[in-house]
A and B are shown apart, each in its own frame.
Chain A
Amino acid sequence: MSGFRVDDSGLLMTIQDGGRTGWSYIGVPVSGPMDWFAFRAANRLVGNNENCAELEFSALGSGKFTAIGELLIAVTGVGGSIKVNHLPMSFWTAIRLHHGDQLAITDAQGAWCYLAISGGVDVPEVMGSRSTCLMAHFGGLEGRALQSGDVLPVGSTDSDWSRLAGGTWNLERTPQYSQTARVGVLPGPHFEWLSTESRQSLFESSFNIDPSSNRMGYRLMGDKLVTRVSNELLSEGVVAGTIQVPQNGLPIILMADHQTVGGYPVIGIVPIADLPIIAQCPPNCGSVSFYPSTNEEAINQLEMLHGWLNEPLEEDEIWSLT
């Protein structure tokens, strides 16, 4: 049986698969990865189905693991230092690990890293998913964040490791990750509630990500946005990417573990194609600015990213490490 041991879980490390859909009507979030692109690319590099369970961990800490048995892994994210037994390796590359090999990811950029293992992290499904619901303590590993000492099994796989090992992703075919992120906004039902000055602020100023931000939502610090006041707003469904503006004027972008309904004004929605970019904006030092986008543009972007994820990994990009 193959698996791995967590030696350092950093700041927050959880098991996430593609997400848990269809349960919003009873208040259960979709969860899944913060950066769906890096998540899926990692799975592709190791020959997994794109929704296979992986580890997501905060780029602010580190992630250290010991291989049990033979593994094929890949780490994706904005970038950072990755070592196998103190030998430097690369992000976005399929790497063979042998029993006892030590994998260490440190000094990562962005906000989230993904570790995919060929065969997927083999924990039971709950409500049809292996994603962790931290709020309600279920899914993933016992519904909690991983800790040092946790040992996790890996599923079996018949993908061809000899062909996959050493494969690298074309880094030009990744989202525009940046410390000064630029993200589209589609108009929300309460966009008109923004004062004229605030509409200007939204599109002409930049915001920092408040350090209290988490998997449920990113709070933005910057010019306060003023909206029409209403006590009458009925709670309604929201999605990842929904931009809410509470009374304090500080916008919140809902993320993977967001509550299923909300009662704050919704001024806009971040397109799915841009969610990886905002997700990888690091707290404090990163900044984000917005531009008005359209559904057509948003769908074109999404088609492009999907195209990249579904392209065959080119033969001439695959070279053997061992």
Chain B
Amino acid sequence: MRNVEIAPYGESAIRVVLGDRLDWQLNQQVHSLRANLLTGAHPELRDLIPGYASLLVRFDPLIIGLKEVEAIIQEALECVSSGSEVETREISIPVYYGGQSGPDLGRVAQYAGISAEDVIQLHASGSYRVFIIGFTPGFAYMGGLPDQLVMPRLTSPRTAVPAGSVGIAGQQTGIYPLESPGGWQLIGWTPLVMFDAHVSEPCFLQPGDMVQFIPQNGERP
């Protein structure tokens, strides 16, 4: 692989940078690298933290040296595909748009100069890649928002955004997995539980998933 940067990050981590732009193929390589390292089953590697185009590999420096970890990473990189052969999950997320579920839908429509129905149609027509999950447990950052819907965050964030809220900010769309303060424009709500620490797969989405939003009719549950 070309132009991969591998460098120490403190004494107990190595930072692997695969690129410097928001690009789903680069991102897929990050997840492929992480999967390869996991398959290799190295207990000395404590954590593998994916970024948009990078992977941070945390290790125990008292039981493995930097050079050894670099060698493991190099080997895993050799098996990283260009992105097309790796299996991607396709996930559908049911969304109740507008009304109480999406209090900012009107504002987004106005900003874009289109109708609320058009906003829904545009948002639901997209196919969004989960680039990373972070900032809070289960918060999936999804790229691929249609240009027309690109919009800044609220100037005054809400103190409490309900769990399940579907929002947009900048070029991204996302779902709040937990109630938290938030500044995203809320256009809908999903009844799906995005994060539950008490089940075996705590997070509904995984990095690398391709997500589609399915508008729901009628009353929300």
Are the CB atoms of A135 and B52 closer together than 8 Å?
no
Which A118-167 residues have a C-beta within 8 angstroms of B? 126-127, 133, 135-139, 143
A232 CA / B170 CA spacing, docked (Å): 13
The reply on B2 being an interface residue by CB < 8 A is no
Nearest-neighbor residue (CB-CB) of A298 within chain B: B11
Q: Which residues of B contact A234 (CB under 8 A)?
A: 20-22, 51-54
Which B36-95 residues have a C-beta within 8 angstroms of A? 46-56, 58, 61-62, 66
The reply on B188 being an interface residue by CB < 8 A is no
Knowing A25-B34, A28-B202, A136-B197, say if A189 contacts B10 (CB, 8 Å). Answer: no
Contact with A235, one of B7, B132, B180, B195 (Cβ below 8 angstroms): B132
Nearest-neighbor residue (CB-CB) of A261 within chain B: B134
Most chain A CB atoms below 10 A, which of B10, B56, B133, B207:
B10
Knowing A133-B137, A237-B51, A302-B61, say if A138 contacts B197 (CB, 8 Å). Answer: yes
A148 CA / B8 CA spacing, docked (Å): 45
A224 CA / B46 CA spacing, docked (Å): 34
Are the CB atoms of A25 and B11 closer together than 8 Å?
no
A212 CA / B38 CA spacing, docked (Å): 38
Are the CB atoms of B49 and A25 closer together than 8 Å?
yes
Are the CB atoms of A135 and B10 closer together than 8 Å?
no
Are the CB atoms of A26 and B47 closer together than 8 Å?
no
Are the CB atoms of A136 and B9 closer together than 8 Å?
no
B1-29 Cβ-contact flags toward A at 8 Å (1 or 0): 00000011111110101001110000000
Q: Which residues of B contact A135 (CB under 8 A)?
A: 136-137, 178, 180
The reply on A197 being an interface residue by CB < 8 A is no
Q: Count B-side interface residues using an 8 Å CB cutoff.
A: 46
B85-127 Cβ-contact flags toward A at 8 Å (1 or 0): 0000000000000000000000000000000000000000000
The reply on A236 being an interface residue by CB < 8 A is yes
Q: Which residues of B contact A28 (CB under 8 A)?
A: 137, 197, 202
How extensive is the interface on chain A, given as a class? 35 or more
From DSSP, what is the main secondary structure of chain A's interface residues?
Answer: loop
A261 CA / B206 CA spacing, docked (Å): 15
Q: Which residues of A contact B136 (CB under 8 A)?
A: 27, 135-136, 259
Contact with B20, one of A30, A127, A232, A298 (Cβ below 8 angstroms): A232
Which B119-152 residues have a C-beta within 8 angstroms of A? 132-139, 141
The reply on B203 being an interface residue by CB < 8 A is yes
Nearest-neighbor residue (CB-CB) of A19 within chain B: B46
Q: Which residues of A contact B180 (CB under 8 A)?
A: 135
Are the CB atoms of A235 and B134 closer together than 8 Å?
yes
Are the CB atoms of B178 and A136 closer together than 8 Å?
yes
Most chain B CB atoms below 10 A, which of A24, A127, A237:
A237
Nearest-neighbor residue (CB-CB) of A185 within chain B: B10
Knowing A21-B47, A22-B47, A126-B197, say if A27 contacts B10 (CB, 8 Å). Answer: no
The reply on A47 being an interface residue by CB < 8 A is no
Question: Which positions in A face B, CB cutoff 8 Å?
Answer: 21-30, 126-127, 133, 135-139, 143, 186, 188-189, 232, 234-239, 241-242, 259-261, 269-272, 295, 298-299, 302-303, 306
Provide a sorted-by-A list of 5 A–B residue pairs whose CB atoms are within 8 angstroms. A24-B47, A25-B133, A133-B197, A186-B10, A234-B53
Known: A135-B136, A139-B197, A236-B53. 9 other contacts (CB 8 A): A23-B137, A135-B178, A136-B138, A136-B195, A137-B178, A188-B10, A189-B15, A236-B15, A260-B134
Question: Which positions in B face A, CB cutoff 8 Å?
Answer: 7-13, 15, 17, 20-22, 34, 46-56, 58, 61-62, 66, 132-139, 141, 178, 180, 195, 197-198, 202-203, 206-207
